[in-house]
Structure 1
């Protein structure tokens, strides 16, 4: 498995960032590789685009500490991953989000993509897209226009 560690600072209060992250059904709105996510009891069912192909997997939330951390692991399907995201108060309206993700590339194309840094780049892009999404929908920096 490959460990990816990335972080981003968002200009919204910690509780806002945490609550938006918990809305996994919204991930396709800002994560380019996520096609859909559906809740199925204790699991979430993911459809993702990886190296030009679609993969499906089920994930289980393994730990929740409100306003602090969420951990998960894939439990079935074509994707093997586990991760944790933590939320750190920087200021009243600023939060640092730190993501650790263990992924195991499947197949030759995914291994090549991982070796070339495409997986890291996707995680970085997804975190920055989350930043833009949560700031646009929940206020963002002072004076920034809000999304309708």
Structure 2
């Protein structure tokens, strides 16, 4: 498994960021390739994802530790992805958003396509960085 960690600072209070993180209907606005997200009972979510010209449905289990500002998730089928988003207050009007993703590069390529080897790791890193930038824009515009 490979691990990727990225963070971004946003100019809104932590509670606003937490609420925005849980607006799954907005995910297509800031997560590249996500076309739709539906929540289900028991902390489950279904994501319709388009990658490399193909549409796939992924199912994930999601858990919250609101008191710690952490949302964790993992896919329940292939490809195996494990992730978390942690929020830390910088001050009363700024929050650091830390994203962590664990993945098997070969499984990602097989399931979703994309380049091989180091090029794929760079592509995934750019994708996560871009998603965080779009999340920041989305959250700060909502203010």
Scaled by the length of structure 2, the TM-score of the pair is 0.86
Structure 1's consecutive aligned runs of 4 or more residues displaced over 4 angstroms after TM superposition are none
Q: Structure 1 regions of 5+ residues with no counterpart?
A: 139-148
**Cα distance per residue 1:81-137 (max 9 Å; x no partner):** 111110011011100000101123141873625631111111000000000000001
Instruction: Report 1:21-100 matches (<5 A).
Output: 21-42=21-42, 43-66=44-67, 68-76=69-77, 78-100=78-100
8 Å contact 1:14–1:87 — kept in the other structure?
A: yes
Q: Structure 2 regions of 5+ residues with no counterpart?
A: none
8 Å contact 2:109–2:115 — kept in the other structure?
A: no
Alignment CA distance shift 1:48-1:26 (3 Å): same
Alignment CA distance shift 1:115-1:131 (3 Å): same
Alignment CA distance shift 1:108-1:47 (3 Å): closer
Alignment CA distance shift 1:110-1:39 (3 Å): same
Scaled by the length of structure 1, the TM-score of the pair is 0.83
RMSD (Å), alpha carbons:
2.0
Further displaced range: 16-25 or 60-69: 60-69
Alignment CA distance shift 1:23-1:113 (3 Å): farther
Query: What corresponds to 1:130 in structure 2?
Result: 135
In terms of fraction of residues, the more helix-rich structure is: 2
Mapped to 2, the partners of 1:12 and 1:37 lie a distance apart of 24
Query: SS state of the match for residue 15, structure 1?
Result: helix
8 Å contact 1:8–1:127 — kept in the other structure?
A: yes
For these two proteins, the number of residue pairs brought into alignment is 137
2:115 corresponds to which of 106, 112, 116:
112
